[in-house]
Structure 1
Amino acid sequence: MYHILREIADSWGLLSMTILFLGVVVWTFRPGSREVHDDIANIPLRNDEWRED
């Protein structure tokens, strides 16, 4: 049983993780996502009021 699970993890596990990684990279750098990433990057700066006491 161990050897069967080991073979599945070595072959199909590696393949599925590679496909997942490539999918995340493609999703991140897809056309039109720049506006979304810029908006998300500015979240900490929203509603930022400098108070001078």
Structure 2
Amino acid sequence: METYTAMRHFADSWGLVFMLAVFCGVILFTLRPGGKKAADEASQIPLKED
């Protein structure tokens, strides 16, 4: 039972920090300069005929 409590405390504190960092990283990656061109190209992939 002690292991569960320790893991729960770890997840409550550092898990939240990790998820916040991942969220901010995804937002920054999406809004980076040049991101619009890459997103436009990726959106056209299903429409291309090989």
Counterparts of 2:35 and 2:29 in 1: how far apart (Å)?
8
Paired residue secondary structure (1:30):
coil
- Bigger share in helix: 2
Greater RCO, CA 8 A, separation 6+: 2
Q: What TM-score, normalized by structure 1, do the two folds share?
A: 0.79
Instruction: Quote the offset at 1:47 in angstroms.
Output: 1.9
Q: Which has the larger radius of gyration?
A: 1
CA RMSD, Structure 1 to Structure 2 (Å) = 1.4
Percent identity between matched residues is 44
Q: What number of residue pairs does the alignment pair up? A: 48
